[in-house]
């Protein structure tokens, strides 16, 4: 199986200066020139949701801590 050369042919390359440089105007602009927002605005979670999640984690941690302290003290033999 023989493959073809993926490099472009030398005579079909446009805009190259000697040494491989490219003159101004031959390359596309560095960034898009769109100034409007795209898509929809992202809004974070509501403050009450964050509070509920943090409170639930705190309750689980506190209950676990109380269980292990009670186990160490000897309440759960």
Predicted confidence at residue 38, as pLDDT, reads 65
Q: Using 50, 70 and 90 to split pLDDT, how confident is the model at 58?
A: very high
Cβ neighbors of 76 (< 8 A, separation 6 or more) are 67, 70
**Region 42-48 average pLDDT:** 79
Q: Is the pTM of this model over 0.75?
A: no
pLDDT at 71 over 80: yes
72: burial class by Cβ within 10 Å (0-12, 13-18, 19+)? exposed
- For 1-23, how does the pLDDT look when each residue is reduced to its tens digit (9 = 90+)? 567 777 767 666 666 667 777 77
């Amino acid at each position: 199986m023989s493959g073809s050369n993926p490099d472009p042919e030398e005579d079909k390359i446009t805009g190259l200066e000697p040494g491989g440089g490219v003159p101004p105007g031959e390359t596309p602009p560095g960034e898009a020139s769109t100034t409007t927002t795209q898509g929809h605005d992202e809004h974070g979670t509501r403050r009450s949701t964050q509070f509920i999640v943090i409170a639930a984690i705190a309750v689980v941690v506190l209950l676990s801590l109380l269980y292990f302290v009670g186990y160490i003290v000897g309440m759960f033999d």
